[in-house]
Amino acid sequence: MKVLVVGASGLIGAGVADALSANHEVIRASRSSDVTVDITSPESIAAMYAKVGKIDAVVSCAGKVTFKALEEISYQEFSKSLQDKTLGQVELVRQGLDYVNDKGSFTLISGVVGREAIHTGSAAALANGALEQFTYAASIEMPRGIRINTVSPTVLTEAKGYHPYFPGFAQVSLAEVTDAFVKCVDGWSTGIVHKLG
| pLDDT tens digits for range 36-87 | 999 999 999 999 999 999 999 999 999 999 999 999 999 999 999 999 999 9
Q: Residue 147 has what pLDDT?
A: 98
Residues forming beta bridges with residue 57, ordered by sequence position: 3, 105
pLDDT of 162 higher than 90: no
53 alpha-carbon distance from chain centroid: 20
pLDDT 10s digits, 92-103: 999 999 999 999
Neighbours of 23 (CB within 10 A): 12
> Mean pLDDT over residues 130-155, rounded?
98
What is the rounded CA–CA span in Å between residue 51 and residue 84? 22
* Band (160; pLDDT cuts 50, 70, 90): confident
pLDDT of 15 higher than 90: yes
pLDDT 10s digits, 85-142: 999 999 999 999 999 999 999 999 999 998 999 999 999 999 999 999 999 999 999 9
pLDDT of 164 higher than 90: no
- Pick the range with the lowest mean pLDDT from 16-20, 165-169, 175-179: 165-169
In order, the DSSP letters of the chain are -EEEEETTTSHHHHHHHHHHTTTSEEEEEESSSSEE--TT-HHHHHHHHHHH-SEEEEEE---------TTT--HHHHHHHIIIIIIHHHHHHHHHTTTEEEEEEEEEE--GGGTS--TT-HHHHHHHHHHHHHHHHHHTT-STT-EEEEEEE--BTT-GGGGGGSTT---B-HHHHHHHHHHHHHS---SEEEEE-
Q: Residue 165 has what pLDDT?
A: 85
- Domains of the chain, with CATH numbers? 2-196 (3.40.50.720)
Q: Residue 6 has what pLDDT?
A: 98
